[in-house]
Amino acid sequence: MIEMTVARIAEIVGGELADITAEDAAATTVTGTVEFDSRAVGPGGLFLALPGARSDGHDFAAGAVAAGAVAVLAARPVGVPAIVVKPEPGAADAASGALEFDTDGSGAAVLAALAKLAAAVAAELVADGLTIIGVTGSSGKTSTKDLLAAVLDPLGQVIAPPGSFNNELGHPWTVLRATPETDYLILEMSARHPGNIAALAAIAPPQIAVVLNVGTAHLGEFGSREAIANTKAELPQAVPASGVVILNVDDTAVAAMAGKTAARVVRVSREPGSEVDVWAGPVALDGLARPRFTLHAGGGQVEVALAVHGDHQVGNALCAAAVALECGAGLEQVATALAGAGPVSRNRMQVATRADGVTVINDAYNANPDSMRAGLKALAWMARQGPGDHAGEPAGDLHGKRRSWAVLGEMAELGDDAITEHDAIGRFAVRLDVSRLIVVGTGRTMNAMHHGAVMEGSWGSESTMVDDADAALALLEAELQPGDVVLVKASNSVGLGALADALVAAEAGSPSPTEMGNADR
C-alpha cells in the first residue's frame, strides 16, 4: 500500500480514533501491508479485525500490534490504537457471503471501510500511471489471472491476487497490495448477486476488462443464465470510453456485451471472423492436454505452446494475449511468456505424474457444469494418448489406452438445477469412456451423478459411490495401477484438494486415509 498516516486513513473511512490521540495518529504512518490474518502482520502494517469461523479478529488485535501493526481497523475499541467504524442496522447482509460468520454487522462495517480505503489508494495510483485490469467469467477467472500475470510481467511490475481473492474482502485487499512501483494491477471479480461486480469495479475502476464466459456457476443464487450474463456485463459497463474491453465472442452471451460498453471492444475467438481481432489457428493437444496453436493478431502470427493443461485454456490464453498486446507487448514476447506460464494457483488443473506412471489431475478448487466437462475432456484426452506419449513422462506398464479415473464431488450453488446437472455429468463421464467414476458423497446430487452414469450405460463397479474423501483415497490406493490417469474435481467446500495431494505423495510410503483426513483442508 502507499504510505498513509493513521489520521488520513481514519478520515477516508469515516472512522473514529480509539486508544490513540489525534496528534499521534497524524504522526503514525502505515508503511507495511494490510492484513486480516494476525499471523501475517509485519512492521508498519494495518490489521483488519474481522469475524471468522472459530474466532473474532478483534480478539487478536493486541497480538497484531505486538507483531508490528501500527493500528487496527475495527468495529469497536480493542485496547490498542484503532480506527473504529460502527456497524449499521442490517449491515451484516451487505457482506454478500464474503463473511459467512458476520452476525452483528461488525464485519460488514470493516469491509465497507476497507473498500473506501482501497478506492482512495486506487485513485491515487491510477493518477500516477497504474493500469487496472479486471477479469470475470463463470469459469476460468483464476487461470486467466495467472496467465495475465505471466504475459504482463515482462512489461513492468505486476500485482495479482493469490488464488481466488475475488470478493468483497479479497478484492480490496489485493488493491491495497499495489504500491507506487506497481505498473499493472490484475483483479479477479466474482459475484453471487446482481450488483456485486459493479460494486467491486467501483472500488478500482478498470481501464481494461476481460469477460471469459457466462455459464451456470452460482445458478442457484441468480436463478437464470440471463441474470448471470447481466451481472457479468457490469464489468464492461464500468470501463470508461477511453478503456478497452476484451470479449471471448465464442460465448454468444459474452459477444452480446459489445453493445453494453462505451469502451473500445477487442474480440477474441478460436476461429477467424470479420469482427474478430485475436484468434487461434488449429489447436492441437500434446499427451498431457497442453494446447498448441497459432496466435493471430494485428496482421501477424506466432506459434504458441501453452504450459497449462486442457483445451479450455485456449480461450483463457487468447484473452491474456489480447490484454498484453493492448499494453504494448509484441507477439513473440507474448508467445514466450505463455510458454513459461505453468499452473500457479493450487488445485487448479495441476498435473503431476508419479514414478509409477500414475498421472494425477488436481482440479479440486472449484466445480460447475462447464468446468467439470472441461476437466473430464482433459482426463479422457490424456488417457487416449496411452503411455509413452508424454515427453519425459514414465510409460508405466500398460499398452495402448491408459485407464482413467474421475473422482468427483458436488458442484455447489446450482439451485433447482442441481439434480439435473449432476445427472448430466455422470452421463457425460460415460460418454467420454472414462474407465472408473468415483462419486464422493451420498446426498441427492451425488446419487443423481451416480445413477446418471449407470443409466447411460455404466455397469458393475465402473461407477462407485463412497461416503467421503477418505473412502475414495482408500479405494484408489487399493485399485490404481501404474499408468492410470486420475482427475480429482469438486467444489472447494468438498475438500478434495487434500485427497489429490495425498494421491500424488502416495507412490512411496502411502499415507493412510486417516492421515489424509487430518491434512489441512
- 141 assigned to a ligand binding site: yes
> Could you tell me if 203 and 118 are in contact, meaning their C-beta atoms sit under 8 angstroms apart?
yes
- 375 assigned to a ligand binding site: no
Dihedral, CA of residue 159, residue 164, residue 169 and residue 171, to nearest 10: 40
For the beta carbon of residue 205, count every other beta carbon within 10 angstroms.
Answer: 17
> Could you tell me if 33 and 47 are in contact, meaning their C-beta atoms sit under 8 angstroms apart?
no
> Could you tell me if 135 and 146 are in contact, meaning their C-beta atoms sit under 8 angstroms apart?
no
CA–CA separation, 452 and 427 (whole Å): 5
- 142 assigned to a ligand binding site: yes
259: region left, alpha or beta (phi > 0 left; psi from -120 to 50 alpha): alpha
> Could you tell me if 111 and 169 are in contact, meaning their C-beta atoms sit under 8 angstroms apart?
yes
Buried b (16+ CB within 10 A) or exposed e, 56-86: bbbebbbebbebebbbbbbbbebebbbbbbe
- 33 assigned to a ligand binding site: no
- 137 assigned to a ligand binding site: yes
Helix (H) or strand (E) holding 28: none
Residues forming a β-bridge with 439: 408, 465
Look at residues 247, 319, 251, 332 and name the one whose alpha carbon lies nearest to residue 280. Answer: 319
> Could you tell me if 203 and 119 are in contact, meaning their C-beta atoms sit under 8 angstroms apart?
yes
- 300 assigned to a ligand binding site: no
> Could you tell me if 111 and 73 are in contact, meaning their C-beta atoms sit under 8 angstroms apart?
no
Binding residue numbers? 137-143
Binding residue numbers for ATP? 137-143
